[in-house]
Each structure stands twice: as structure tokens, then as C-alpha cells.
Amino acid sequence: MDYNFKIDVDITKAETLPASFYRDPEIFEALKQDVFYKTWQWIGHENSVASAQRTHPFILLDGFLTEPMLLTKETSEKIHCLTNVCTHRGNLVVDKSGRNKKLICGYHGRRFGLDGSFEHMPEFKEAIEFPRPCDDLHRFPLRKWGPFLLPDLILLLIFRS
Ligand code: FES
């Protein structure tokens, strides 16, 4: 996107951004793509999945990115950040925080491991070339900074396209 303003790398030449920057819906959308989807976003404290087999659904930046995501704790150490959108028909897989050994979609029963890997789908025994890697729940790289959790969203751009 071409912006009609310039940001000088020399801070001594800095100027206030024009008001249009804050009002333009195209710039607003471009900021999502060019800034928020390409950076690590803080999503919370590791205690939101304090013990093994805990699951914690949340909406990433609700009203802005509005991305349904899910934290799972597979073991006492391993935390995963997954999409909470079922790979079958897009239903939310987990609707409330709790303790789960497996992730089971309430719509048609597709089952995933706590790492997002596809495990089972009722009535799909005859399906050809099934399952495939795209049937897994997408897993985002997750970093910890102290107790804080930060997923890398860059893959979300690819995942959504
Ligand atoms: S939408 Fe999840 S199993 Fe169908």
C-alpha cells in the first residue's frame, strides 16, 4: 500500500502523522496485515493453562483480528497455541476453559490431540486420502517471555489465504 505520508528514519525530522492516518479504513486494514500479523502478540500468562490437560480458548485481539485460538497444555511443560477453528466445517472446537485429554468438535465429532493433530472422524473410514496434514488444527509457534505467552502470527496470514 502507498501511504501519503513519510516517516523519516532520522527522529530529529519527525512530524506528527496526518489525521487521515487514524481515519482511513484502508490504513487500518493495512496495519493488520503489515504490523499485527507480522509480529508476536502477547496473549496472556502461562497460568491460563496451569496444569497438564488444561485447555483455554480465547479470541485474539477481539474486535480487531478477532481470531479464535486455543491454548492447550499437553504435559506439565508443553504448551501449544492452536487455531480453535475445526478443520471440517469451521465450528469452534473448544468453547470454554477446562480439563480435556482430547479436543473433540461438538458439531460432527472430529477428534484432535492436545497438540492439534487429527486423530479421528466418525463415518470417514471410506474417505480417500484422509486424513492429510491439513486436517490437523493449525499450530502457531509459541514463545515464552518469563510467564508471558506470545504466538507468532505470520503463519496466520498464510493459513487464512
Ligand atoms: S465442524 Fe468440526 S467435526 Fe464438523
- Residue 106 lies inside a defined structural domain of this protein: yes
Pairwise CA distance, residues 24 & 20, whole Å: 6
Residues above pLDDT 70, as percent of the chain: 93
CA of 113 to the centre of ligand 1 (A): 15
| Atom from ligand 1 closest to the CA of residue 110 | 3
117-138 residue pLDDT tens: 999 999 999 999 999 999 999 9
Q: What is the CATH number of the domain that holds 102?
A: 2.102.10.10
- Tally of structural domains, the chain: 1
CA of 85 to the centre of ligand 1 (A): 9
| pLDDT at residue 159 tops 90 | no
| pLDDT at residue 161 tops 60 | no
Give the residue-averaged pLDDT of 79-98.
Answer: 97
Domain that holds residue 116: 52-140
| pLDDT at residue 3 tops 70 | no
Give CA separation, 139 vs 5, 89, 121, in Å.
37, 18, 19
| Cβ count within 10 A of residue 137 | 24
- Residue 145 lies inside a defined structural domain of this protein: no
Question: What is the CB < 6 Å shell around ligand 1?
Answer: 86, 88-89, 91, 105, 107-110
Q: State the pLDDT at residue 110.
A: 98
